[in-house]
């Protein structure tokens, strides 16, 4: 869960989810990060920050049961220049 305090709330803006966007898509470990931001493992809930073009964390970012799938979901997108 990403957190913020009242004094930083002004920096958050709700957005729409345009067709074909990175929202609501799941990404495999070690793939190129499609957008800078905070990603959450849908299995264990671990959150990481990643920059666009960098690799998302690998399969072994944390211990999972062998049957558990590691997939990353973008939860907060950052605006970078």
Q: What is the reported pLDDT for 33?
A: 94
Q: What is the reported pLDDT for 63?
A: 62
Per-residue pLDDT band for 67 (boundaries 50, 70, 90) equals: low
Does 3 reside within a domain?
A: no
Q: Which two tokens stand for residue 54?
A: 């960098």
Report how many domains make up the chain.
1
- Pick the residue with more confidence: 66 or 11? 11
Does 2 reside within a domain?
A: no
Average pLDDT over residues 65-79: 81
Per-residue pLDDT band for 43 (boundaries 50, 70, 90) equals: confident
Its domain, for residue 54, covers: 24-59+67-81
**pTM of the predicted model as reported, rounded to 2 decimal places:** 0.82
Does 8 reside within a domain?
A: no
Does 53 reside within a domain?
A: yes
Does 29 reside within a domain?
A: yes
CA 40 from centre of chain: 5
């Amino acid at each position: 869960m990403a957190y913020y305090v009242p004094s930083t709330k002004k920096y958050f803006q709700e957005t729409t989810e345009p067709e074909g966007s990175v929202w609501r898509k799941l990404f495999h470990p070690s793939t190129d990060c499609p957008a800078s931001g905070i990603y959450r493992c849908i299995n264990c809930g671990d959150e990481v920050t990643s920059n666009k073009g960098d690799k998302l964390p690998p399969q072994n970012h944390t211990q999972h049961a062998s049957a558990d799938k590691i997939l990353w979901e973008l939860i907060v997108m950052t605006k970078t220049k």
